[in-house]
Amino acid sequence: MPWLSDAVSNETVALICDRVWLAVVQRSLRPGTRLKEEDLAEVFGVSRARVRQALSLLEKDGLVSLVPNRGACIAEPSVAEARDAFYTRGFIEKRLVERLCASATSDDIAALRAHIAKERAAHARQDSEAIIRLSGEFHMLIARLTDAQFLGEILRTLTMRTSLITAMYQNESTQTCGPDEHEAIVDAIEQRDTARAAGMMEHHLHHLEAALQLNDAKSPAADLRAALGVGNAPTQ
């Protein structure tokens, strides 16, 4: 997952974060939706302490807002914040592909191509959950392969933020970023064509931003349990 970090050591907390993130990017949970601790505790079958841990992590990543005397809700980035997030992400990701062009090994290229193969398989079976996960993980894989921890941490936060922005503003009929553009970026990296790789990444992110309708905020989901898609809840 794009947002997962070493800070998440408890599997239950990680699961809560995972399901909330996925519900947001799948548009089951809309920006502004309230996340009551007691409801989440019941949905997941855990203590409110575990829920607070998860909400704290999600706030750190910009997915959740914690408002005094009101509690937690899915964050609602403004149009200006949406543009700033993509603008900043463009700089970070161009820098990462430039670094990878200079350092990529045959194993690195093989890892990227194996990941794209997973993306294509997910598209072929129309597995929307896997498509969403793998799409975000491709960008984080580039960061890991460059061994750029500082840039990777920034990108992780930006990826979370742009996932929320996309869920909030994207046209319903628009597809998530797919393996074809990812493969073109990998081709350029393998050929050590720094200018083309950076240009392809810039084009790729611009393509994602261009799909947004920056005046089309959606209303929140009403049923928290249905939105999170939770069946058998884990035990604490």
- Go through the domains of the chain in sequence order and give each one's CATH number: 11-76 (1.10.10.10), 79-210 (1.20.120.530)
Tell which wins on pLDDT, 225 or 234: 225
Taken as a whole, the chain contains a residue count of 236
Token pair listed for 106:
């045959």
| pLDDT surpasses 80 at 1 | no
Give the mean model confidence (pLDDT) for residues 172-194. 86
pLDDT number for residue 169? 86
Q: What is the mean pLDDT of residues 135-158?
A: 92
Q: CA 206, 208, 210, 215: dihedral to nearest 10 degrees?
A: -130
Predicted confidence at residue 227, as pLDDT, reads 66
Higher model confidence: residue 68 or residue 143? 143
Q: How many degrees, rounded to 5, is the angle at CA 103 between CA 100 and CA 105?
A: 100
